[in-house]
């Protein structure tokens, strides 16, 4: 279908969340002729997938799927993207929703060439949220090296300071605009798809697993960043306390998931994520010992089962069926002792390792702050799809824990549901 064709009658679609699910819904709807507004709160699109080193089971880098989607978005005049944007209010009924979108200032306009001169000139440093605070970046920054849109961001922290002057002077392209203000825009759309995704469960809430107390205990998403070439260690997996190359690593599965005190449900992906993580470690450390403490290992479907079987062939990966009861730090070395009870033999295990990775699960983003719309949630904060009422739908991990393939399938289905709302209006 030609891109210059006018949008189909029946109104437009709002997609909230520019992760892999929101991108899929947007593209599926726009490429059959509908006008789509895509609203993303981060300064870039791609969501959590852009923080991964590789995807299972094929182990290709996230650029594989994301770059092609970004190109399709760029080429499609029916898609209007708002980054650094959040929904303030949605009122109305299927076929006609009034939406207020709040846009935060980026302080950088379309002229930005990503030359990086502003970052060079800026002296203030801020925590790098993309890398879970494991490093600092300048307050004038590109969120990550494959960010789309490829435009710098300036932190409001430096407004009115000498750093702001330095950045302005450094920019040869007239791309910095400190007069940008927060603003609200209003739209009318026929259907809304919420693709607001997930957050890693806050591991510091799990009292017995030592996260935040012992530096050599990290989360699975932190490991993704450590192993990524655009991460804080340029891709080298080093333990945080002393940058040592770890010779032994333990994974603690179901860290917070399947636990009535935390997330009562299975997060679906974290067994596969840890199996994938063993390949990251093996690539860099051929002899490292890897211990996986699990309650059940879930590798659903033929492809994932095959992946699991391949990992099991590695003689230096030890699978221990047992729930981890406690962890402690060996003062002086920074090593960690993991204590668990072997569920098969009943014996108590004490395993010393140099680093621990907590396989923390997914919590729906909407669990923290409910969205400003008339939506139904289950007890865990996932949005329930009310197909009878229609008009607003949840896609991907906003609806349930899912991998990329299932998120995409679900997001395609929700594009169709949104289109049906417009057609029936
Ligand atoms: C450790 C780990 C490793 C993983 N590895 C793999 C893997 O190898 N292969 C695989 O298939 N899956 C993997 N997954 C799962 C994968 O991350 C998810 O399937 C995927 O992120 C789902 O995409 P999503 O778009 O639904 O959510 P997200 O990726 O969370 O995207 C949601 C987007 O919505 C935005 N947003 C949230 N709230 C708002 C709001 N109010 N307004 C505007 N924007 C908002 C967010 O900023 C984000 O950009 C892994 C998960 C974990 C925990
Ligand atoms: S804002 Fe200006 S100086 Fe900074 S990266 Fe963009 S073009 Fe370069
Ligand atoms: S996917 Fe595995 S680690 Fe994650 S909650 Fe389910 S069983 Fe536990």
Which residues does 55 contact at the CB level (< 8 Å), separation at least 6?
Answer: 49, 61, 62, 64, 65, 404
Query: Does the CB atom of residue 393 touch ligand 2 within 6 A?
Result: no
Residue 4: other Cβ atoms inside 10 A: 7
**Which residues are CB-neighbours of 153 under 8 A, at least 6 positions away?**
43, 84, 106, 107, 108, 140, 141, 142, 143
261 contacts 255 by C-beta, under 8 angstroms: no
Q: What is the pLDDT of residue 424?
A: 83
Q: What is the pLDDT of residue 369?
A: 83
**How do residues 17-69 score in pLDDT, each as one tens digit?**
999 999 999 999 999 999 999 999 999 999 999 999 999 999 999 988 899 99
d(CA 80, CA 61) in angstroms, rounded, equals 26
Q: Ligand 3: which of 270, 276, 277, 324 to mutate, judged by most atoms within 8 Å of the beta carbon?
A: 270
pLDDT band per the 50, 70, 90 thresholds, residue 7: low
Atom 6 of ligand 3: nearest residue by CA position: 266
Q: 313-324 pLDDT, tens per residue?
A: 999 999 999 999
Of 117, 180, 103, nearest to 152 by C-alpha is: 117
Confidence class for position 241, pLDDT limits 50, 70, 90:
very high
CA neighbor of 50 nearest in space, from 199, 225, 270: 225
Q: Which residues pair with 270 in a beta bridge?
A: none
187 SS3 class:
strand
Q: Is the CB of 382 under 6 A from ligand 2?
A: no
Query: What distance in Å separates the CA atoms of residue 92 and residue 76, rounded to the nearest whole number?
Result: 28
Question: Measured from the CA of 272, which atom of ligand 3 is nearest?
Answer: 1
Ligand closest to 373 (CA) is 1
**In angstroms, what is the span from residue 283 Cα to ligand 2's centroid?**
37
> pLDDT at position 8, please?
66
**Phi, psi for residue 73 in degrees, rounded to 5:** -65, -45
Query: CA 147, CA 60: separation in Å to the nearest integer?
Result: 18
Please name each of the domains of the chain with its CATH number.
13-103+182-198+363-424 (3.50.50.60), 117-170 (no CATH), 202-360 (3.50.50.60)
| pLDDT attached to residue 67 | 96
Q: Is the CB of 42 under 6 A from ligand 1?
A: yes
- Is 170 close to ligand 2, i.e. is its CB under 6 Å away? yes
pLDDT of residue 3: 43
Nearest one of 38, 23, 86 to 371, comparing CA atoms: 86
**Pocket mutation for ligand 2, best pick of 109, 169, 171, 174 (most atoms within 8 Å of C-beta):** 171
Average pLDDT over residues 328-343: 95
Report the nearest atom of ligand 3 relative to the CA of 271: 2
By alpha-carbon position, which residue is closest to atom 4 of ligand 3? 270
Cα(32)–Cα(317) distance, integer angstroms: 48
**Positive or negative, the Cα torsion across 84, 263, 131, 68?**
negative
What are the tens digits of pLDDT across the range 112-160? Answer: 999 999 999 999 999 999 999 999 999 999 999 999 999 999 999 999 9
pLDDT at 78: 97
- Closest residue by Cα to atom 27, ligand 1, is 197
Distances (CA, A) of 96 to 34, 85, 86: 15, 21, 19
176 lines ligand 2 (CB under 6 A): yes
Residue 360, beta-bridge partner list: 255
- The per-residue pLDDT for 273 is 98
In 10 A of CB 296, how many CB atoms? 11
pLDDT bucket at 1, cuts 50 / 70 / 90: very low
Q: Residue 200, Cα to own-chain centre: how many angstroms?
A: 8
Q: How far is the CA of 171 from the centre of ligand 2 (A)?
A: 5
Q: Is the pLDDT confidence value at 103 over 90?
A: yes
**Which residue's alpha carbon is at the smallest distance from atom 3 of ligand 1?**
273
Residue 130 has φ and ψ, to the nearest 5°, of -60, -30
């Amino acid at each position: 279908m030609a891109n210059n064709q006018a949008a189909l009658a029946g109104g437009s679609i709002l997609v909230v969340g520019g992760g892999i699910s929101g991108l899929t819904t947007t593209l599926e709807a726009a490429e059959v002729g509908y006008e789509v507004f895509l609203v993303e709160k981060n300064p870039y699109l791609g969501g959590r997938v852009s923080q991964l080193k590789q995807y299972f089971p094929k182990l290709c880098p996230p650029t594989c799927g994301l770059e092609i989607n970004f190109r399709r978005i760029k080429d499609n005049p029916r898609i209007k993207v708002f980054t650094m944007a959040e929904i303030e209010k949605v009122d109305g009924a299927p076929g006609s929703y009034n939406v207020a979108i709040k846009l935060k200032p980026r302080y950088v306009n379309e002229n930005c060439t990503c030359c990086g001169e502003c970052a060079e000139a800026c002296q203030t440093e801020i925590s790098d949220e993309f890398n879970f605070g494991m490093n600092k970046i300048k307050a004038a920054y590109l969120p990550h090296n494959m960010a789309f849109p490829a435009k710098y961001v300036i932190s409001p922290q430096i407004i009115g300071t000498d750093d702001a002057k330095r950045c302005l002077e450094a920019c040869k392209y007239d791309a910095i605009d400190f007069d940008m203000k927060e603003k609200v825009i209003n739209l009318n759309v026929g259907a809304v798809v919420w693709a607001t995704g997930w957050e890693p469960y806050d591991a510091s809430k799990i009292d017995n697993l030592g996260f935040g107390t012992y530096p050599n205990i990290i989360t699975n998403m932190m490991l993704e960043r450590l192993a990524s070439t655009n991460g804080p260690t340029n891709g080298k997996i080093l333990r945080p306390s002393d940058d040592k190359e770890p010779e032994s690593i333990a994974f603690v599965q179901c860290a917070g998931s399947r636990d009535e005190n935390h997330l009562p449900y299975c997060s679906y992906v974290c067994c596969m994520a840890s199996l994938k993580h063993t390949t990251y470690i093996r690539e860099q450390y051929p002899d490292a010992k890897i211990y996986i403490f699990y309650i059940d290992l879930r590798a659903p479907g033929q492809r994932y089962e095959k992946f699991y079987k391949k990992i099991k062939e590695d003689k230096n990966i030890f699978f221990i069926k047992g729930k981890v009861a406690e962890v402690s730090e060996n003062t002086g070395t920074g090593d960690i002792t993991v204590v668990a009870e072997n569920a098969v033999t009943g014996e108590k295990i004490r395993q010393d390792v140099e680093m621990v990775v907590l396989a923390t699960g997914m919590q729906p983003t909407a669990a923290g702050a409910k969205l400003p719309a008339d939506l139904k949630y289950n007890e865990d904060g996932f949005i329930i799809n009310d197909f009878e009422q229609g008009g607003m739908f949840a896609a991907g991990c906003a609806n349930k824990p899912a991998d990329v393939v299932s998120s995409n399938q679900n997001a395609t289905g929700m594009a169709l549901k949104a289109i049906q709302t417009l057609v029936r209006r």
